[in-house]
Structure 1
Amino acid sequence: MARVMKKDETFYPGPSRIHLAAFPPRERWDDWTELDSQAWPRRKERRYSLVPTICFNCESACGLLAYIDKDTNQVQKFEGNPENPGSRGRNCAKGPATLNQITDPDRILYPLKRAGKRGEGKWERVDWDTVLDDIAARIRKAIVEDRRDEIMYHVGRPGEDGFTERILAAWGVDGHNSHTNICSSGAREGYQLWMGLDRPSPDHANAKVIFLISAHLESGHYFNPHA
């Protein structure tokens, strides 16, 4: 996808394939300058550091570039990372929308512990040591008292390669809960019964016919159709 132009800078071709680049050259990611679109018609420059990161809004884990303003040290936007071998700079709308999660005024930035009765909406801020000690003590008490079926671990997107699940199994706890067994288990069971694999990777490039049921191709979880 990338080819080296003059001045030894990497050129990521845009739609024209010749003149317009789709992404900044990686040689200038440490100090990239763009015009501030919100300052138009004035020509105001903004300097960024482009930091590679990963979108975690689904299990595709596509590559992103975080544009960090050098004056404020704040993330201003996310765009695709052309160096990511999986997504190659192509992302669905959820990738750039990650900025909304960072700037969400209701985002919880530190641990909270219930300060009243359930449902009262009363919380108090606590430190991480208090949280970990409290949870660990409750889990240990349940295991010692042989109440393992009262322990459940929930994670939205299991991105730690099953590490936590293996720990629970070592404790004799069958309490893993995640997006997989809540949302995608039905589809994956169908794949397993039909193909013998629970997460196949379709060959869209060479397929003569693509049959979609109840979803658009762009919403695929376990593969990136853009790439």
Structure 2
Amino acid sequence: MVKIREAIRQSNLRISTLLGVTVTSLLIAGISFTKFQNQSVNAQSVDLACNNQNFKSSTFGGFLSNNPFTSLDRTRQNSPNLFPEGKGWSPGNGESWGKPRYQYIAWFNNIKQWRGKICAKSVQTLANNHTISYQSSSNSSCPIGGPNYCQIYVGPKLFFETKGYDEPESKWHPLESDGKYAIYEIPANSTKVYSWAWKTSQPSDYRIRVEYAKPLDEFDFMMDKK
């Protein structure tokens, strides 16, 4: 039985929640190929995040089926059931995350070949503010316990992850190629696309994960499997 939160029927697909310089990475037969395209994407006036037709037309490594999973034009505001509030975030040191922040996760399990693609836009406004305030023992401008706070931008973060089939949740880890890990923070008021392809000899689980999203941040996703 496949458990989903969207009205989608695809074998081996589970969705619990969501979240470009384009970074693409391919691992085939134990050999890793990585491609950096340094491509920023202009947001569209009608479609959220990327242009839907362009986004769906290709993925790094090529499609693996005739029916890839797609979830387009998503925000916490228009798809609240897909974006639960993030749990277990303990910034400490007097930090304020500007809660609530939201997450999204979609995954395939028990497969050997996988494609993952995300287009994400960080919408930075006063009403959708990603700036956090913090205090630090290593910063004299905003010491812990003092009256002053420092500020830093923390945008939505994207993760492309894998683990062995039926391994525990604690075993999820980011894909890695040539020392570069598949973890990306989206800059303020920027739209970015990231795409990864992966192949293993043993059945594995793969997922797309987004953390620290604000309600108006925009996302498109696509995954494929074989």
Which TM-score band (shorter chain)?
under 0.3
Higher helix share: 1
Which of these two proteins has the greater Rg computed from alpha carbons? 1
Higher strand share: 2
